[in-house]
A and B are shown apart, each in its own frame.
Chain A
Amino acid sequence: MTAITNDFPRDHSLAEPRDLDLGGKSGGRALKNSIATFVMWAAFAIAVIPLVWILVTVAVKGGHLILDSTWWTNSQQGVTARREGGGAVHAIQGTLIQGLVTALISVPIGVLTAVYLVEYGRGRFARTVSFMVDILTGVPSIVAGLFIYAVFVNAFGFQRSGIFVCFALTLLMIPVVVRSTEEMLKLVPNELREAAYALGVPKWKTIFSVVLPTAFSGIITGVLLGLARVMGETAPLLILGPYTKAIATDLFGGNMATLPTMINQDRDQAVTLPAYDRIWAAALTLILLILLLNLLGRLASRFSKV
Chain B
Amino acid sequence: MQSVTGVSIADETAGPHGQSPLAGDGAGTGRLGDRLFGGAAIGAGAIVVGLVTLIGVFLLSQAIPSLMKNEANFLTSTEWSVGGEHPRFGILRLLWVTVLSSLMALAIAVPIGIAVALFITNYAPKWLSKPAASTVDLLAAVPSIIFGLWGLRVLGPHTDGIQNFLRDNLGWFPLFKETTVGSSTTIFLAGIVLAIMILPIITALSREVFAQTPPTHKEGALALGATKWEMIRTAVLPFGKPGVISAAMLGLGRALGETVAVMILISSLAQGTAFSFSLFDGGETFASKIALGAGEFDTPQKTGAYIAAGLVLFILTFIVNAIARIVIERRKAFTE
Contacts and interface: CB of A to CB of B under 8 A. Distances in A.
Q: Do chains A and B touch in the complex (CB under 8 A)?
A: yes
A3 B1 contact: yes
B211 interface: yes
Interface string A107-145: 011111101111111100110110111111111111110
A33 B227 contact: yes
A67 interface: no
Contact of B321 (A128, A134, A239): A134
B22 interface: yes
Nearest to A236: B259
Interface in A41-71: 41-44, 46-48, 50-51, 53-54, 57-58
B119 A43 contact: yes
B6 A17 contact: no
A142 B259 contact: yes
Contact of B129 (A10, A48, A137): A10
A282 to B, nearest CB: 9
Contacts of B6: 137, 175-176, 179-180, 226, 229
A53 B122 CA distance: 26
B131 to A, nearest CB: 9
A126 B23 CA distance: 13
Interface stretch (B67-75, B82-90, B215-223): B215-223
A16 B230 CA distance: 13
Contacts of B321: 131, 134-135, 137-138
Contacts of B11: 118, 179, 182-183, 186
A202 B33 contact: yes
A136 B48 contact: yes
Contacts of A8: 120-121, 129-130, 133, 207, 211
B126 A132 contact: no
A111 B259 CA distance: 28
A101 to B, nearest CB: 17
A81 interface: no
A290 interface: yes
B310 A116 contact: no
A6 B41 contact: no
Given A14-B215, A33-B228, A50-B196, A179 B314 contact: no
A183 B8 contact: yes
A82 interface: no
Interface stretch (B134-142, B160-168, B180-188, B275-283): B134-142
Contacts of B43: 112
Given A37-B228, A53-B154, A260-B145, A112 B44 contact: yes
A142 B291 contact: yes
Given A33-B230, A41-B123, A43-B112, A186 B10 contact: yes
B259 A229 contact: no
Interface stretch (A157-165, A203-211, A246-254): A203-211
Nearest to A39: B115
Given A32-B229, A143-B55, A234-B260, A7 B130 contact: yes
Nearest to B221: A17
Interface of A: 1-11, 14-18, 20, 22, 24-25, 29-30, 32-33, 35-37, 39-44, 46-48, 50-51, 53-54, 57-58, 108-113, 115-122, 125-126, 128-129, 131-144, 146-147, 150-151, 171, 174-176, 178-180, 182-183, 186, 190, 193-194, 197, 202-208, 221-222, 225-226, 228-229, 231-235, 238-239, 260, 263-264, 267, 271, 279, 283, 286-287, 290-291, 294, 298
11 contacts: A9-B211, A25-B225, A51-B135, A143-B313, A143-B314, A202-B33, A204-B33, A204-B36, A205-B33, A238-B260, A287-B142
